[in-house]
Structure 1
């Protein structure tokens, strides 16, 4: 009977949840180079153009793609 109870506990996850995981030791330092607001703006604009512009083009011309033979 005890083996059945142990298997039920494993299946229910009580044994898995009782494990204590060690805390990750993540450290960070100050940045070596400071990024200016202008550089951030340029980076965001480039990301906008490369990701959203092609998607917008496809959605704007969706009817053309549907009727193409």
Structure 2
């Protein structure tokens, strides 16, 4: 069974690979839409908060994690 499967895969793999066409869109020049400083700062603050919030929550609650309920 594995021999049959292997032969089918080896015969179909080149046909499948040849149909894949890579395409890249590289655009240079000025941006189409200007983004305001307020929006840039807001997104930056939000991303920093999303990264820092879980770590600070864990660090603030370490005493609760150390408690034993014996």
Structure 2-normalised TM-score?
Answer: 0.51
Q: RMSD of the alignment, in Å?
A: 1.8
Match of 2:64 in 1: 64
Q: Relative contact order (C-alpha < 8 Å, sep 6+): which is higher?
A: 1
Point out where structure 1 has 5 or more consecutive residues left out of the alignment: 1-25
Residues 1-69 of structure 1: pairs in structure 2 closer than 5 A: 28-69=28-69
CA shift, 1:66, in A, is: 2.1
CA shift, 1:68, in A, is: 4.5
Secondary structure of the equivalent of 2:38?
A: helix
